Amino acid sequence: MAQFSLAELEKIINQRAHSGDPESWTAKLFAKGIDKAAQKLGEEAVETVIAAVGDDKKALVSESADLIYHWLVVLGIAGVPLSDVLKELETRTGRSGIAEKASRQDRG
């Protein structure tokens, strides 16, 4: 079995977003817009943190999946391809995290 990828999930989300299917949670989120999708992303982030600090590995896996899904929905609604995020991560791998963070503060 081939390994499932975030790029595949991004493609599925895009297809469902524009499917017009009234039973699709993805289509509903896209229709409700960035505010609702971002709210859901925040909720999933909190639930992921709770699972992590609670040392609940099963919940951490489940909540992480929800978090990644909602993150990709937010990116999709915002028109930001996953490849842009991956390129940004790639540029950061050649330097220390401390130096990278300092460079972002200099830009802000």
**Residue 86's closest CA among 75, 102, 78, 101?**
75
Q: 90 lies in a domain?
A: no
| pLDDT reading at 23 higher than 80 | yes
Would you say 30 and 77 are in contact if contact means Cβ atoms under 8 Å apart? yes
Q: Give a yes or no: residue 95 inside a domain.
A: no
- pLDDT value of position 1: 57
Q: How confident is the model at residue 93, as a pLDDT?
A: 85
Total number of domains in the chain = 1
CATH of the domain at 11: 1.10.287.1080
Residue with tokens 């972002």: 104
Q: Does any domain span residue 22?
A: yes
∠ CA 63-14-8 to the nearest 5 degrees?
65
Q: Let me know if residue 68 belongs to a domain.
A: yes
Residue numbers of the domain that contains 57: 6-80
Euclidean distance between CA atoms 72 and 10, whole angstroms: 6
At residue 67, the pLDDT reads: 98
> What's this model's pTM, rounded to 2 decimal places?
0.84
Tokens of 46: 């909190």
pLDDT digits 0-9 by tens, 58-104: 999 999 999 999 999 999 999 999 999 999 999 888 777 677 677 76
Reduced to 3 states (helix: H, G, I; strand: E, B; else coil), residue 2 is coil
pLDDT more than 90, % of the chain: 80
